[in-house]
Structures are given as structure tokens and as C-alpha cells.
Homo-oligomer: A and B are copies of this chain.
């Protein structure tokens, strides 16, 4: 690729924004050209406007970019949004109206009728919804971080055996709460058994993601019953979830493992830069996966599963782990953008 596509990042000083910057370093297709944040940060060099908390040192060419306000006067036509939900709705709409493609990690537009809620391995065909959007540009959204890992693990099983019931209990990482986020006094030597709005997201988003593309909208999958319970634990990165599942056709344990091992989606076929080689990694050891040991598998873009066993109340139970700020947020959003690019949606802006 001779010319990389210039991208702007909205909410660039927040934790998702920082992760976008960290992950986009040396991206083969995209280059960071503009950074947007609140009025308070606008006009400052990025390095002076942000409290950098990523492990990789901030790349110098980004450090010196002067932060802009989040108004649709950017040169970059591709926009990654890590905006807080309190402001994302209007700003993202404004950019889309003005001709920008907004790939968002915020929840605001997830349930808009004509906005796809994308996991590229799961519902790549939903991208077509963009054609129904009234915007000069477009909006594509990412599901919630706790939904993504679970659905990556369940999609191949749903395809093969049809899921009827999902019961999930999460142990979610602190980085999911943003920065400064969860106070240390609240979580050291503790668990917080509540995350506002999280259970509702996990009980509703899968219906859209696993729904069918209809005429300018998604026909929700309302056949699956879902119950979610969400907890915050003292883990930096990596959401671990216990999942119980009941199928239309109960498979054997071996059939489930085979479905996971063979699972490939459109990103793998297209060999997208951020696509994991294997979206799901199965571990047979009885104490894996663990957040600290497996969250970085495939650069944090794959889900890890393990402890598969028959269940007295459902058909099977297992655990799934995924990196909440990579696969579950910034990395997933970048993969969405790559899919858009590979499928020609960005031709008009690139």
C-alpha cells in the first residue's frame, strides 16, 4: 500500500484512545493524523494533554500532534471513536453526516436500526447495513467488551448446534472501567458484584449480533434466552467468563472442541492485519485459561476457552477469556475498520 489512510482518533486522551494509539503503531494500512479530545485538551501537544498509562512508550511522532476539538473539520476521513458515551452520540452523528466513516467503540449507536454491531468473524455480512444509512459517511459499532469474547466462543457452536440458552457470569478486568475508573480502595482485597448497565448489554447485544440481515435492518435473534451476572475483580486486563449453554442439538464434547479449533471467519479468509490466526484457542488443562497467562494470545485478538464439561442444568459449561481493551475495544474497532477497507467501503474516502 503506497499511501496509508489517515485516521483521526476521537477521545484520544482517554484509556480507549490511548490504546488506539498504542495499537496503531506501524499499522500497515492506517496512520494516525489527527487526535481529538475535549476543549480542555485542545490546542495542547498530545504528550502534554494526556496522562499516558500504556506499557509501550508513546511514539514520538504522535506525542507532538496538537490535539483538536471533536468537530467535523478533520482532514482524515476515517475516524476511530473512543468517546465517552455522555458525548459520543451527537459528535459521532455530526461526523457521519459530514462524510466521515466513524468506527466507534461507544455504546450510543449500537442499537440504531441501520448501524451494524460488528464482530468481523461473526457477522461480516451486517456491514451491508451501511448502505441504508442516511449519512454522507457512516457509523459502525463494536459490541461491549464482555459480549465480544463470549460471542467469539459461541458463534461456531451456534452455527453447528444452534444455541437455545446462554447463562454467563463474568469476572471483569479493571481496565474495562476506564481511567481513573475503579478506585483502588474499592477493589484491592475485594470483588464488586455490580457493573452498571453491563448485564443488560450482555443480555441484548447477542440478539442483534446473531440476528439476520433484513431489509435495511437486523432481524433480532430472540429465540436465545440469556442471563448475565457481571462482577469486577482485581485484574488489570482480561475478562474471564463462566458460560453455560443449551443447544437445539446437543453435541459431544469432541464436536464442540472441533468446532472451536476449526472456526474461521471473514477476517481470517481476508488475512486482515489485526485478524488472529485462530479466533478461538482451546486449552485442555483444567486451570486454564487465566487472565494473566492467556490474555495476550495472538496479540490480544483471540479468545481462549477451557474447562469444557457437561453440566447438570444446561448441556455444557466452559470458561472464556478475552482481552477487554484489545479484542474487546480498540483492537476490535481496528479490525472493523480493516474489514470495511477490505470490502471496499472506504474506497470513496481513501
Contact = CB atoms under 8 A, between A and B. Distances in A.
Given A53-B185, A233-B234, A290 B242 contact: no
Contacts of A227: 244, 311-314, 317
26 contacts: A53-B185, A53-B186, A53-B293, A55-B296, A167-B167, A169-B169, A171-B231, A171-B233, A174-B184, A181-B183, A184-B188, A189-B235, A191-B233, A191-B235, A191-B291, A192-B287, A192-B290, A193-B240, A193-B242, A193-B289, A193-B290, A225-B312, A226-B313, A227-B312, A227-B313, A229-B319
A86 interface: no
Nearest to A226: B312
Q: Copy number of this protein in the oligomer? A: 4
Interface centre among A174, A287, A307, by most chain B C-beta atoms within 10 angstroms, is: A287
Contacts of A312: 203, 225-227
A185 B175 contact: yes
B292 A55 contact: yes
A186 B178 CA distance: 12
A132 interface: no
B192 A174 contact: no
Contacts of A229: 169, 242, 317, 319
B225 A188 contact: no
A281 to B, nearest CB: 9
A340 B86 CA distance: 50
Given A184-B174, A184-B183, A242 B233 contact: no
A240 B191 contact: yes
A297 interface: yes
Given A194-B307, A287-B193, A297 B57 contact: yes
A322 to B, nearest CB: 13
B55 A190 contact: no
B181 A185 contact: yes
A200 to B, nearest CB: 11
A194 B233 CA distance: 16
Contact of A185 (B180, B188, B288): B180
